[in-house]
A and B are shown apart, each in its own frame.
Chain A
Amino acid sequence: AQTVTQSQPEMSVQEAETVTLSCTYDTSESDYYLFWYKQPPSRQMILVIRQEAYKQQNATENRFSVNFQKAAKSFSLKISDSQLGDAAMYFCAYSGGAQKLVFGQGTRLTINP
């Protein structure tokens, strides 16, 4: 079975600075998707970024980018120019042949003004 591990329960960053959230996963599949979702205090899950495993190029969405290392099974999220609105719980997730999302434990990100 696939597993997703987020080893940082909490992270904090100064406003306008850059922060990287870590995620590793374990799978024997070769074709899969990886996601980062954000859950602010409202508890609405919001898709931040998505990466297809067959694509070598790292996905980027404005201030959010990933460092996808397929061989190392690592999928970190970099947030540049952090803003107060980025404060949230961030979940890394995997989706493979079973078509189900497997979530990591989450990382709570605090933005210090």
Chain B
Amino acid sequence: GAVVSQHPSWVICKSGTSVKIECRSLDFQATTMFWYRQFPKQSLMLMATSNEGSKATYEQGVEKDKFLINHASLTLSTLTVTSAHPEDSSFYICSAKLAGGTDTQYFGPGTRLTVL
């Protein structure tokens, strides 16, 4: 149980284009989802917290107009990287918490974004 999927697992795009990454909780409902960014050999950096049906809460220093987050249902959150640039290349990971559950977060497998 508690499986989280991400799609796509990797994506290559041209500079200036937008890319959408989906995060789905497959066997549970998630009122809260999180988006992280991980640089090589570093820890996870929280970008934003996404609550179903409300606006995402962004961490300090994260551009909300660049990283658009939508949490339209209890099983789906999306991250759109708008006008992507090479410096946005990174590994993006989502996680989800069980609705009414504990503080445990279950993670997706991640998406590797490369911007040319």
Contacts from A to B (Cβ < 8 Å): 33, 35, 37, 42-47, 50, 91, 95, 99-101, 103-106
Contact = CB atoms under 8 A, between A and B. Distances in A.
B43 A103 contact: yes
B44 interface: yes
A99 to B, nearest CB: 7
A91 B34 contact: no
Given A33-B102, A99-B32, A44 B43 contact: no
Please classify the interface of chain B as helix (H, G, I), strand (E, B), loop, or mixed, using the class held by over half of its residues. Answer: strand
Interface of B: 32, 34, 38, 42-44, 46, 49, 91, 93, 95, 97, 102-107, 109-110
Contacts of B46: 100-101
A50 B105 CA distance: 11
B34 A100 contact: yes
A44 B2 CA distance: 14
Contacts of B34: 100-101
A103 B46 CA distance: 9
Q: Which of A47, A100, A104 has the most CB of B within 10 A?
A: A100
A99 B49 CA distance: 9
Contacts of B110: 43-44
B104 A50 contact: yes
A31 B42 CA distance: 28
B107 A106 contact: no
Given A35-B104, A101-B46, A45 B95 contact: yes
Given A91-B44, A104-B43, A47 B103 contact: no
